[in-house]
Structure 1
Amino acid sequence: MGVVAALWRYPVKSMAGERLTEVAVGERGLDGDRLYAVRDASGKFGSGKNSTRFRRMPGLHAFAARYDGDVPVVTFPDGRVLPGTGITTELADALSIPDVELAKEAEIPHHDEAPVHLVTTSSLAWLAERAPGVVLDERRFRANVLLDTGSSPDRAEESWVGARVRLGEVELEVLRKAVRCVMVGLPCEDLPAAPGLLKTISEVNDVSFGVQARVVRGGVLRVGDVHEVGCTAPHTP
């Protein structure tokens, strides 16, 4: 058992996000998380890696987003702060990609693998020992939830795959370990670049860090909520 130490929501996929003290959680994850993404002229969405739906957009990590009500507000790398409505030209110029726009999620979620991403303090401490000189916190991994696991074993969350975890009112099923990409080594807000971090994670943990989960029971999730690992749950794709 331990507690929820931090909550993060990312209004726009692959941009820096906002730290919260509480948030509603439903089937698609934290309310408003990755609800928007930058879409190019071909219909692909900006991400840290290439896939059938996503394309890597260098520079996207240097933006940040937060909500003003239901509207995402975007902070540009040059310090401009603009509402997410009608910033097509500004995004195109800043990213040097023509015909991009901020697009709200439609039928298919903007999440890479699962609605909720968890990391633990024990895993961060374990990785810090193997990546000396790297400034580490959960923001490098775009985690939604940081769990303070105290003196739990290293990479405690990896043993939860296939199990249910209760976080206050919310219950999650841990589906798999999270596979990392180049984003972990990019500068983010006050975190400097860590160009060798992805290689380190690859060497010591097969390119994975943290876990991905789905929501079994929603509710309001709060910093300070107690977390507890429950019984093994049947997997539902």
Structure 2
Amino acid sequence: MTMVTALRRYPVKSMLGEALTEVAVTARGLHGDRTAAVVDATGAVGSAKHPRKWGRLLDCRAALGEPVTVGLPDGTALFVGDPELDARLSKLLGREVSVSDDPSRGGVLEREVPAYEGGLPEVLRSTARTDGTGATVTSGGVAAGTFFDYGAVHLVTTASLARLRAARPASDFDPLRFRPNLVVDAAGVPGFPEDAWVGARLRVGGALFRVTVPTPRCALPGLAQAGLPADPDVMRTVAREHRVPVGRLGRLSCVGVYLEVLEPGTVRLGDVVTVQPSP
């Protein structure tokens, strides 16, 4: 039986999030997910996909509330909208930043080009540049009207993580490294079962999703986060074991899939996941 074994949301983009037992899924994704983001004076949206610039965000933890609360590395908890939070984050990151809950402004997303194969679409290679941090980066935009990179919901299966763990037993392929919204146990299914779900519909509790594309990975899963040590072999293993076609972007290193919400509803731990062929 395929079922949900973990639910997570991340109220502030690229900060650690919170575990849930149930969540309302809206047309834009999990309620409260990526409702805010840290932005700087250049219009860049804080993303640990550029770790030299934004990696310290992974030392912070956000929880949904009225308003969202951010726990800082020193244990201080401050609300989004409090000028003191902006000041503390500016000191942490070494430049002036603020927390925005208005995704309508759009913003630039910067991604560090990884050293491993399959980490950068060939169509973007000519746009890469070296920025002030010394990193080679590419730039794009957030998904319209959101702080998401692309998909509204991200799913990872335990089977995929087990397959990677078997290929590299010395590394910890904890699902937290991949920042999924849904972790699904595809019992008894070997390999990367979600590859076969692209284009299909998934009924999960009261919500219905369509699987859109595999999820390309950046350097982020190999960073230190949530008590997990830095481990560049995590993504080297993904690049070696699982490079798959992603639309017109070519074969990329992927773990998990993105989902589009077709029918909002409530999802709970233990909900059965039913794969329905595309109509």
Shared fold (TM-score, shorter chain, > 0.5): yes
Match of 2:235, SS state, is helix
Match of 2:37 in 1: 37
Superimposed CA distance per residue, residues 46-97 of structure 1 (whole angstroms, 9 cap, x where no aligned partner):
01336xxxx95121112111123x3111111222222222211111001112
Report whether the alignment pairs 1:105 with 2:102.
yes
Residue number among 66, 88, 91 corresponding to 2:89 in the alignment = 91
Residue number among 229, 232, 241 corresponding to 1:192 in the alignment = 229
- Structure 1 pair 105–141 and aligned structure 2 pair: CA distance change class (3 A): farther
Residue number among 55, 58, 70 corresponding to 1:58 in the alignment = 55
Match of 2:203, SS state, is strand
Alignment partners' CA distance in 1, 2:223 and 2:58 = 7
Superimposed CA distance per residue, residues 98-141 of structure 1 (whole angstroms, 9 cap, x where no aligned partner):
2x111113332111111000001111111111222222221101
Report whether the alignment pairs 1:205 with 2:211.
no
Match of 2:214, SS state, is strand
Match of 1:232, SS state, is coil
Alignment partners' CA distance in 2, 1:128 and 1:105 = 39
Alignment partners' CA distance in 1, 2:18 and 2:93 = 21
Q: Is the 8 A contact 1:48 1:181 kept in 2?
A: no
Report whether the alignment pairs 1:72 with 2:118.
no
Superimposed CA distance per residue, residues 115-173 of structure 1 (whole angstroms, 9 cap, x where no aligned partner):
00000111111111122222222110110000111101311111100100110111110
TM-score (structure 1 length as normaliser): 0.91
Partner AA of 1:37 in structure 2: A
Residue ranges of structure 1 left out of the alignment (5+ in a row): none
Match of 2:68, SS state, is strand
Alignment partners' CA distance in 2, 1:163 and 1:105 = 32
Alignment root-mean-square deviation, CA = 1.5
Alignment partners' CA distance in 2, 1:110 and 1:17 = 15
Match of 2:14 in 1: 14
Runs of 4+ in 1 over 6 A off after TM superposition: none
Alignment partners' CA distance in 2, 1:11 and 1:185 = 22
What is the identity percentage for the equivalent residue pairs of Structure 1 and Structure 2? Answer: 40
Residue ranges of structure 2 left out of the alignment (5+ in a row): 105-144, 244-252
Q: Is the 8 A contact 2:9 2:181 kept in 1?
A: yes
